[in-house]
Amino acid sequence: MQKWAIAATWPFGRRAVEVGSRLLDEERNGIDVVEQAIRAVELDPTVDSVGVGGIPNYEGEVELDAALMRGKDLAIGAVAGVKSFPNPISIARLVLEKTPHHLMVGDGAERYADAHGLKRDSLLTSSSLEKWKKRRQRQVQITDERWGTGHDTVGVVVLDKAGGITAGTSTSGLALKLPGRVGDSPLPGSGLYADDTAGAAVATGCGELIMRGCLSYAIVELMRSGATPQQACADALGRLVARLEKEIPVRNAHQDMTKMAVLAMDRDGNIGAAANHADFDFAYCLAEDREVRLERAKMIGV
Ligand code: GLY
């Protein structure tokens, strides 16, 4: 039997894994699988940190970031600050496959999506609007520790039947972020990295911290040097936490603005995950038994 494997961040990643595992079984390539898996989460209005229903920025507009990376040739397609498109991951795919560029932002990315026939739609739901209004009524300020609450990224890593490794991410970023703020998710090396010769990793949590450690690249390079995905996740995140903890309370984190989590897969489809907090769950499915499972990541340093 040819191997395949898929894993995705958070319990809402279960939907991504269900969709992706069916496509992997049909021998679809990693780019198709990751795009379709992430689209399923982007279109679910109950997920309040991704796509439709994502929590708006400080001014009440939903701004989305997404990226895809193909491990065969290290090609990347990423978009940031995209409004009014429910599936930014599909714009990221256009960037990867149809442009000579890797990262497009805002209006330019939106006009490119228009030109390729992607449909605009409202991203606000009554629930996300209510949450936004309540925060504004409480007059949560940028300096308030409650400010960044809610920033869970869907990150997906895949080994396809042909041995291809692919990673993808999608998020509305920090709730109440300043307009124009971009997190780690569309940044190659920070929010995601994929290389067929080593493996793939994705990150979720506070983008401002994740990008300081280029966490996904660090994990893939540790796997290249022989670490298992579990060792690589714990080691890369542990090093960043050790480096930052004198200045920022990142060990055993309790605030969303200090939480980070990572998920990785090696070229054989083995999976690892780690977090600097106690509540990071991920979903996965392997060709061996086709069961979609949820697992809690190990918290580092305990
Ligand atoms: N990790 C998602 C973000 O910070 O935007």
The residue segments making up the domain with residue 23 are 5-198
Q: In the predicted model, is pLDDT for residue 159 greater than 90?
A: yes
- Tell which wins on pLDDT, 34 or 142: 34
User: Does 43 score more than 80 pLDDT?
Assistant: yes
Total tally of structural domains belonging to the chain: 1
| Residue 138: predicted pLDDT | 72
Q: For residue 222, what pLDDT is reported?
A: 98
From the CA of 181, give the closest atom in ligand 1: 5
pLDDT-derived band at 145, boundaries 50, 70, 90 = low
User: 277 lies in a domain?
Assistant: no
In short, whether 258's Cβ falls inside 6 Å of ligand 1 is no
User: Whole-angstrom Cα distance, residue 148 to residue 195?
Assistant: 32
Q: Quick check: is 270 in a domain?
A: no
Structure confidence at residue 176 (pLDDT):
86
Residue 153 CB less than 6 A away from ligand 1: yes
Would you say residue 213 lies in a domain? no
Residue 253 lies in a domain: no
Higher pLDDT, 256 or 294: 294
Please give the structure tokens belonging to residue 267.
């070229």
Instruction: Please report the pLDDT score of residue 20 as a whole number.
Output: 98
The answer to whether the beta carbons of residues 3 and 161 sit under 8 Å apart is yes
125 is catalytic: no
Strands of 192-195's sheet in order across: 192-195, 199-205, 260-266, 271-275, 298-299
In a domain, 82, yes or no: yes
Whether pLDDT at 149 is above 80: no
Residue 37 near residue 157, CB atoms below 8 Å: no
Q: Does any domain span residue 184?
A: yes
Is 283's C-beta closer than 6 angstroms to any atom of ligand 1?
no
Q: Which pTM does this prediction carry?
A: 0.95
**pLDDT band, residue 2 (cuts 50/70/90):** confident
Domain assignment of residue 193, yes or no: yes
127 located within any domain: yes
